[in-house]
A = this chain, B = another copy of it.
Amino acid sequence: MSVVETKLRIGELAELTGTTPRTIRYYEEIGLLPGAEREQGKHRWYTEADVERVQEIVRLRDLLGLSLEQLSKLLEAETARAELRRELQLTEDPDDRRRILEEASGHIATQLELVRGRRQELEKLEHELADKQKKVRRKLRELGA
Taking Cβ atoms with an 8 Å cutoff, the residues of A that contact B are 59, 62-63, 65, 94, 97-98, 101-102, 104-105, 108-109, 111-112, 115-116, 118-119, 121-123, 125-126, 129-130, 132-133, 136-137, 139-140, 143
A139 / chain B contacts, CB cutoff of 8 Å: 97, 101
How far apart are A67's CB and chain B's nearest CB, in angstroms?
Answer: 13
| Chain A interface, DSSP helix/strand/loop, else mixed | helix
Q: Can you name 16 A-B residue pairings with CB atoms under 8 Å?
A: A59-B125, A63-B118, A63-B122, A63-B125, A94-B143, A97-B139, A98-B140, A101-B139, A101-B140, A102-B140, A105-B133, A108-B132, A115-B125, A119-B119, A119-B122, A122-B122
